[in-house]
Amino acid sequence: MNGFLPSLWAEALKTRRSKVPLFTAIGFSISPLMAGLFMIILKDPQAARSMGLITAKAQLVAGVADWPTFFSILTQAVAVGGAILFAIITAWVFGREFSDHTAKELLALPTSREAIVAAKFIVIAVWTLVLTVFIFLIGLLVGKLVVIPGWSEDLIRSASVDILGTAVLIIALLPFVALLASVGRGYLPPFGWTILTVVLAQIAAITGWGDWFPWSVPALFSGAAGPRSELIGLHSYMIVILAGLIGLAATFYWWRNADQTR
C-alpha cells in the first residue's frame, strides 16, 4: 500500500482543521449529560416534578439512581447515538471528497487509492474511539457530580468493556456507510442507509432475529434489550465481522475500479 503515512497525515490534517470533530464531540456529550439528568430524576422524582424536570405523567422505568443504572443508560445512549453519530463522521470523511469535488485530486497520484481509503478508515476508527472514551470520561465526571451510590472498580471495568465494545461493534459496520458515501458521491445516500439500518435493526430485534442481523448486534450488546448473554452469541460477533469485511472490501474495490466521472 504505497503512501499510507502521507495519506494518514493528510486525513489527520483535514480532520483537525474541520469543525466536524467539535460538533460531534458536543453532540455526543449529550449522552452522559442525559444519563446524569436521569440520575437526578431517579434520585428524587418528587423534587424533579416540583422543579418541572418531569411531569406527573412521566413513566420512570429506568430503575434506581446508582452507578450500574447510570452506566447502563450511558451504554444504551452510545448504542443509539453512536450508530447515528459515527455514521455522520464516516459520511463526512468519505462524502466530503465528492461534495468538495476533491476526489479527482486523489486518483492520479503516486500514493495509491488503497492507501488513501485505508487512512480514511483509520482516522474514522481513531476519531470514533476517542469520542467514546471522551464521553465515558465525561460520564464519570457527571456521575461524580450527581453523587450516586454503587461505585466499584469492577463496575468501571465492566462498564468500559460495555461502552467500548458497543462502540467497536458500531465501528465494524461503518464501511457500508463509507461505501454508500463513495458510490452515492455525497452525504445523502449514507444518511439514508443509516436510517434504514437503524429501523431494520429495531424490527430484527423485535422479531427475535437480532442476533443474526449485524446492525442489531451493537444495541443488543449494550444491554438495551436485556442481558447480552441471552440475546447474542458468537455467531452474532462473527456476522458483524463478516459484514464489516464485506463493506471494507467493497469500498476498496469501488475506489480502485469505479469510473470517476465527477
Partner 1 sequence: MKQGEIYGFLGLNGAGKTTTIRALLGMIRPSAGDVKVLEQAVGPNGRGPWARIGHLVESPSAYPELTVRENLEIARRLHWIADPNATSHIIEKLALATYADRKAGTLSSGNLQRLGLARALLHEPELLILDEPANGLDPAGVVEIRELLASLAREEGVTIFMSSHILTEVDRLATRIGIIHKGHLIEELDIDKLEKLRAKRLEVKTRNLEAARISLQSAGYKPVMQDGIILIANEHAIEHPDEIAQILVNSGTPPTHLAVEQQNLEEHFLQLTEGAK
Question: How many other CB atoms are there within 10 angstroms of residue 199's CB atom?
Answer: 11
> Which of 25, 109, 122, 188 lies at the binding interface for partner 1 (CB under 8 A)?
109
Q: Is 106 in the site for partner 1 (CB under 8 A)?
A: yes
Q: State the burial class of residue 208 (Cβ atoms within 10 Å of its Cβ: 0-12, 13-18, 19+).
A: exposed
Closer residue to partner 1 in complex, CB, 38/255: 255
| Phi and psi torsions of 224, nearest 5° | -60, -30
Residue 22 in contact with partner 1, rule: CB under 8 A: no
Query: Which of 46, 55, 59, 261 is in the footprint of partner 1 by CB under 8 A?
Result: 261
Residue 6: CB atoms within 10 A of its CB come to 15
CB of 198 within 8 A of CB of 84? yes
Rounded-to-integer distance, Cα 145 and Cα 148, Å: 9
Which one of 1, 6, 29, 156 is in contact with partner 1 (CB under 8 A)? 6
Binding mask 158-177 for partner 1 (x = CB under 8 A): --------------------
Which of 89, 75, 70, 248 is CA-nearest to residue 166?
75
Answer for which of 51, 60, 101, 147 binds partner 1 (CB under 8 A) is 101
249 binds partner 1 (CB under 8 A): no
Residue closer to partner 1, measured from CB, 6 or 68: 6
107 touching partner 1, by CB under 8 A: yes
Distance of CA 4 to the CA centre of its chain: 25
Q: Choose between 111 and 202: whose C-beta lies nearer to partner 1.
A: 111
Report CA 202 to chain centroid distance, whole Å: 16
Residue number with CB closer to partner 1 (99 or 160): 99
Q: How many residues bind partner 1 (CB under 8 A)?
A: 31
**Which cell goes with 23?**
460538533
- The least CB distance from residue 114 to partner 1, in Å, is 8
Q: Can residue 75 be called a binding residue for partner 1 (CB under 8 A)?
A: no
Q: Is 99 left (phi over 0), alpha (psi -120 to 50) or beta?
A: alpha
Question: Which residue's CB is nearer to partner 1, number 57 or number 262?
Answer: 262
Based on the shown chain and the rule CB under 8 A, indicate whether residue 53 belongs to the binding site for partner 1. Answer: no
Helix residue ranges, H only, 60-152: 67-99, 113-146
Q: Of 153 and 259, which has the nearer Cβ to partner 1?
A: 259
CB 20 to partner 1: min, Å: 9
Residues 6+ apart with CB under 8 A from 156: 140
Which range touches partner 1 (CB under 8 A), out of 32-40, 107-115, 121-129, 178-186? 107-115
In the list 14, 120, 185, 228, the residue contacting partner 1 (rule: CB under 8 A) is: 14
Q: What is the biggest distance separating any 2 CA atoms in the chain, rounded to whole angstroms? A: 66
Contacts of 29 (CB under 8 A, 6+ apart): 134, 135, 138
The residues of the shown chain that bind partner 1, judged by CB under 8 A, are 3, 6-7, 9-10, 13-14, 17-19, 100-102, 104-114, 116, 256-261
